């Protein structure tokens, strides 16, 4: 019996707990690994690794599947076409603004907010698969995305009230305690995209250079995936801190 105990313990080095903590959190990973190690004392080392792999798959399948869905979604041109068609149809009764029409001053100050929220176009599919619709972060991001999609109607008379409504929604989310952390996470994740959008007029002069093509590759391929992983890390970070304190 002592030999089986030692083999069960040596079969679960620190890397096993680290991998499990990536999908279940530190406190939960330690508890799960402790139960598996205890049962492995009578069932053997082979059973431990089978159960450990099954646990990793059961707890961690959502993240890779969410990344695959996000990548496929971003490269499906029919999705964007469907959004454009639906927005034009939905707001077909709204006339286009007269060329001489001047929007209110506050609308120009809130334009960065509208640009920031357009980044939710690639983040919401990841959140839907990874956390589900019952999660507050997914609900908040989905609601803001639905507001932001109205900008595809290309009607200024729609954009102005929607931008104002979005600003109110963000302010209310920051004031309410249950929604504050999801709003802060979204802002931190989408801030790099906003910085690139603001810098695009200066980078555009290098349209035919290597820098421009490298930047395009980063924005199209790397940034959506990096933003999704950053969102996942930031959203779980406070949970890890609380579990460590407890």
Q: What pLDDT digit, counting tens, does each position of 162-209 carry?
A: 888 888 999 999 999 999 989 999 888 887 777 766 666 565 555 555
- H or E element in which residue 155 lies: none
Identify the CA nearest to 22 among candidates 237, 191, 227. Answer: 237
* Distance in angstroms (rounded) separating the CA atoms of residues 162 and 92: 16
Per residue in 36-59, pLDDT (tens digit) is 888 888 888 888 888 888 888 887
* Distance in angstroms (rounded) separating the CA atoms of residues 185 and 189: 6
Decide if 43 contacts 67 (C-beta within 8 A): no
Residue 56: both structure tokens together = 């990793």
10-residue mean pLDDT profile of the chain (246 residues): values are: 44 69 73 82 84 82 83 79 87 85 78 71 87 90 88 84 88 92 88 69 55 58 75 68 40
| Domain spans of the chain, in order of start | 2-60, 62-245
* Phi-psi domain of 154 (left: phi exceeds 0; alpha: psi -120 through 50; beta: other): left
């Amino acid at each position: 019996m002592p030999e089986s105990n030692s083999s069960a313990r040596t079969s679960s080095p620190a890397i096993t707990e680290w991998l499990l903590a990536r999908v279940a959190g530190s406190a939960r990973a330690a508890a799960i690994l402790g139960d598996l190690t205890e049962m492995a004392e009578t069932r053997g080392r082979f059973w431990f690794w089978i159960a450990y792999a099954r646990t990793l798959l059961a707890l961690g399948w959502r993240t890779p599947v969410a990344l695959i869905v996000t990548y496929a979604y971003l490269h499906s041109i029919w999705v964007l076409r469907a959004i454009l068609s639906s927005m034009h149809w939905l707001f077909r009764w709204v006339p286009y603004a007269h060329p001489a029409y001047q929007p209110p001053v506050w609308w120009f100050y809130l334009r960065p907010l509208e640009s920031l929220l357009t980044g939710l176009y690639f983040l919401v599919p990841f959140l839907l698969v990874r956390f589900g619709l019952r999660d507050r972060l997914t609900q908040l991001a989905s609601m803001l995305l639905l507001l932001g999609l109205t900008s595809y109607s290309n009607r200024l008379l729609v954009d102005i009230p929607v931008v104002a409504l979005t600003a109110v929604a963000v302010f209310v989310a920051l004031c309410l305690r249950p929604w504050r952390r999801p709003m802060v996470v979204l802002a931190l994740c989408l801030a790099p995209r906003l910085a690139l959008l603001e810098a695009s007029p200066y980078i555009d002069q290098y349209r035919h250079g290597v820098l421009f093509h490298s930047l395009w590759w980063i924005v199209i391929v790397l940034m959506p995936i990096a933003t999704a992983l950053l969102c996942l890390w930031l959203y779980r970070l406070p949970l890890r801190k609380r579990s460590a304190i407890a």
